[in-house]
Amino acid sequence: MTATTAPSQQTQAQQAQGTVFTVLFAVALCHGINDTMQAVLLSVYPLLRDNYALTFAQIGMITLVFQVTASILQPVVGTFTDKYPLPYAMPLAPLCTLAGLLLLAFAHSYPAILLAAGMIGIGSSIFHPDASRVARLSSGGRFGFAQSTFQVGGNVGTAIGPLLAAAIVLPRGQGAISWFAIFAVAAFLLLSYVGRWYAGWLREHARKAAAKVAAHSLSSGQITGALVVLLLLMFSKFVYTSSLHSYYSFYLIDHFKVTPQDAQIYLFVLFGAMAVGTFAGGPIGDRIGTKAVIWMSILGALPFTLALPYTNLFWTVALTVPIGLIISSAFSAMVVYAQELLPGRIGMISGLFFGLAFGMAGLGAAALGIVADHTSIDFVFRICAFLPALGLLAFLLPRTR
């Protein structure tokens, strides 16, 4: 299968120059900042519930608006920038997120909160497709390592977001969310530098890049089938992780009577484990193949997810460590695998997969919120425990190299 989009190609010159670490680390750091600001929204859910007497369904709707906004726009942004590169569009992303955070800090109604969540989602939709593309372009051929480095930046941001929210927002109230404006300014400056590098790369390589032929000999039908399997695996992964992101703190508060501040500490343990697992998945995939990483990283979490709803506080927190380590290693491998299927559509694949991740997580959060309102948080965690069993479907994925 032949791809024809110039900016997504890995030329021989790019391989020769090796990994551009300054650019890769800059875009990974910006991913961390982006996800830190997003995590603030998730971390202040207990505060918003108390301030506005929200139901679990309304909390799930906040997540849905945030994540579906990004889900709808990301593939569109990625497809457009495959054809018409916009290297200086990335700095707009933190500005949109900044607008959402400021609106959230001073919101006085539930509709205003939903609008703020949508603005934060738009920021993500602008950031992820081109940032993931730049990570690949700066990889020097180490695609798994680059994607994991990019992803771990986001996971670290997601991990420290609850800590910062616990330290800054929860003691001072909703208005303290505005303090995170400094993060948005820092991301704007860094992404301006990344945009200049990307513009230079386009000038130097875009015209020389030959059409990229995929390293596999799969038919269009096989590629479509593989993408469908990936879609089902993403459903398993992201609906389960959505249950943790949106409702884990409530589970700890309601089930074990911990304080909101302590719940944020335990949430940090989970997100920290996810950050470590995310970084490990890419380099391992470079060595043993992305398919092996995909099926091990989803199915391997099943014993731990099945045990989690039936343990005490200590073992609940302890089990989130292997769950986070194992299940988080899947996404980088999924993105690299899909990019190998369609090597000329890097922006579209990145936007599609990040968008699906947000969309599935958002829909899952909303649905699980409704289930929790009609049953209990405990019931939600018991039924979600079976989702990693869908990892068995990874055996259906064809080899790409």
Domain of residue 64, CATH code:
1.20.1250.20
User: What's the whole-number mean pLDDT along residues 287-303?
Assistant: 84
pLDDT at 19 > cutoff 70: no
Q: What is the pLDDT of residues 141-167, one digit of tens each?
A: 788 888 888 888 887 887 788 788 888
The neighbour count for residue 341, using CB atoms within 10 Å, is 23
In a domain, 10, yes or no: no
314: Cβ–Cβ under 8 A, 6 or more apart, which residues? Answer: none
In a domain, 216, yes or no: yes
- pLDDT-derived band at 214 (thresholds 50, 70, 90) equals low
- Say if 4 falls within a structural domain: no
Express each pLDDT in 77-131 by its tens digit: 888 888 888 888 899 999 999 999 999 999 889 999 999 999 998 998 899 888 9
Judge whether 7 lies within some domain. no
pLDDT score for 207: 56
The arithmetic mean of pLDDT across residues 54-62, rounded, is: 86
Cα separation, 211 vs 168, whole angstroms: 51
| 9 falls within a domain | no
Residue 187 scores a pLDDT above 80 = yes
Domain membership flag for residue 293: yes
Contact predicate 157/27, CB 8 Å: no
pLDDT reading at 299 higher than 70: yes
| Tens digits of residue pLDDT in 266-285 | 988 888 888 788 777 777 77
Count: domains in the chain: 1
Cβ atoms of 277 and 327 closer than 8 Å = yes
| Alpha-carbon gap, residue 24 to 81, rounded angstroms | 19
- 10 Å CB burial of residue 105 (0-12, 13-18, 19+) is buried
CB 278 within 8 A of CB 152: yes
The answer to whether position 3 is within a domain reads: no
- What is the residue range of 327's domain? 16-396
Segment 365-369 mean pLDDT:
84
Pairwise CA distance, residues 9 & 206, whole Å: 8
For the chain, the average pLDDT equals 83
Within 10 angstroms of residue 172's Cβ, the number of other Cβ atoms is: 11
Q: For residue 208, is pLDDT > 90?
A: no
The confidence score (pLDDT) of residue 294 equals 85
Band (pLDDT 50/70/90 cuts) for residue 3 is very low
**β-pair partners for 212:** 3
Note the pLDDT of residue 5: 40
Q: Is the pLDDT reported for residue 339 higher than 60? A: yes
In a domain, 6, yes or no: no
